[in-house]
Amino acid sequence: MGQKIAYLDCHSGISGNMFLGAMLDAGMAYDTLQHALSALPLAGYALRLEPFSDKGIRGTYADVVLSEEEQPVRHLADIVAIINIAQLSPFVRETALAMFQCLAEAEAIVHGTSVEEVHFHEVGAVDAIVDIVGAAIALETMGISQLYASPLPLSSGHVQTTHGLLPVPAPATLEILRRVNAPWRPCNVEGEMVTPTGAAILATLARFETPAIAIERVGYGFGRKQFPWPNCLRLCIGQSYGPTIVSDEADTDWVTVIESNIDNMSGELLGGLMERLLTAGALDVSYTPMQMKKNRPAVMLSIICSPEAADVLAMLLLRETATLGVRIQQMQRLKARRSFQQIDTPFGPMLIKIKYLGKRIVSAAPEYEECQRIANERGIPLSEVYDVAQHALKNGIIEV
């Protein structure tokens, strides 16, 4: 049996109340959410649910109704105190605090101040606190071990904030999602579609990948804005399928592998094709020599890419090569963690790549580009630079 996972189809963006609406529509008990939220030392609000329909699709609209529109301006320390004093589970507490930390770091960068000095305006209001803590409660209640999300709509226009009119996406929203390399797609709509709260949920909890999932439940969380399509966040909950690798020492993710056998392209054209594919988003491209029918020499082209880039790369192959078809499959990867570090050598500082399994360093090696740069600058063989760097490593500068 696979793990319970969830996929967010963010075709109309995401906000905190849309996320709660989708979770409640997918089967989370309203009473359970209310009871868990009652632990927060907050007053003057009510969580209202409303059946909602747009363009023929039925779902749920969730709204935090405030009895007082004026909200105090809170700092991160104020939010932390509110969450820490509440009787929440460790998972809910840590997840909610992580989301607010994410918001604070983005606001600090945008406004050129420190995390401690950030003034939470909209995201420090009661409704934002309820949305963020409620999101953590929903994941725990529904037993979801991993959240996935689609690319986000990149809309235009302006949004009204306490700072005045700001461009869409709001600067804090853009900064939050920039930090996690969130994928965007063009959207010919004006207005805010991804809110800072929605961005914090995704950046803290989600992977921007399309998972292998056997869907069991679907929920629709609606927004109030009118678009040419249903303004909803679609949530799919189910079991991951296929061999799922779980490791405390390595990272896992899903990739798409695209293959095609090619027997009628010259070496020059194949070299150019590799460059085109890498520029278009491929993570890796390789050619394997092979024999095809009639003893014709050929190559098998293999592409590894993110699931989001698969369609673009497959169509590029069909357009720019003579192949009549491509093979596409989803695969899970087990990845060693890596980092880069500078070390001192007789040639000066050099960048090396360190490979980890868990917290243990299993190998360290010089970076090719760094060695090539030094070899060119000093007019010495590349192998000599490698030998010096390896000697520095063996002398204990990096213990393996």
Question: What spatial distance separates the first Cα and last Cα of the chain, rounded to whole Å?
Answer: 37
| Sequence ranges of the domains in the chain | 4-240, 251-335, 337-397
| Local confidence band at 233 (pLDDT 50, 70, 90 cut-offs) | very high
Residue 379 has pLDDT above 80, yes or no: yes
Give yes or no for a contact between 240 and 11, defined as CB atoms under 8 angstroms apart. no
Give yes or no for a contact between 128 and 72, defined as CB atoms under 8 angstroms apart. no
Residue 56 has pLDDT above 70, yes or no: yes
Greater model confidence, 3 or 92 = 92
Instruction: Identify the CATH homologous superfamily for domain 337-397.
Output: mk0293 like domain (3.10.20.300)
| Local confidence band at 85 (pLDDT 50, 70, 90 cut-offs) | very high
Residue 69 has pLDDT above 90, yes or no: no
What 8-state DSSP symbol labels residue 118? P
| Local confidence band at 230 (pLDDT 50, 70, 90 cut-offs) | very high
Torsions phi, psi for 372 (to 5 deg): -65, -40
The neighbouring-strand residues paired with 50 are 61
Residue 263 has pLDDT above 60, yes or no: yes
Name which of 187, 65, 214 is nearest 131 in CA terms: 65
pLDDT at 258: 94
Which helix H or strand E contains 88, and what residues bound it? none
Instruction: Identify the CATH homologous superfamily for domain 251-335.
Output: Transcriptional regulatory protein pf0864 domain like (3.30.70.1380)
Residue 138 has pLDDT above 60, yes or no: yes
Structure tokens at 125: 């209001």
pLDDT at 354: 83
Show Cβ contacts of residue 88 under 8 Å, excluding neighbours closer than 6 positions.
36, 39, 96, 133, 137
3-state helix, strand, coil in the chain (%, to 5): 35, 35, 30
**pLDDT tens across 321-367, in order?**
988 889 988 787 888 887 777 788 888 888 788 888 877 888 888 88
CA distances to 371, 382, 388 from 395, in Å: 18, 20, 11
* pTM for this model (two decimals): 0.63
Burial of 291 (C-beta count, 10 Å sphere; 0-12/13-18/19+): exposed
Give yes or no for a contact between 153 and 193, defined as CB atoms under 8 angstroms apart. yes
pLDDT at 289: 93
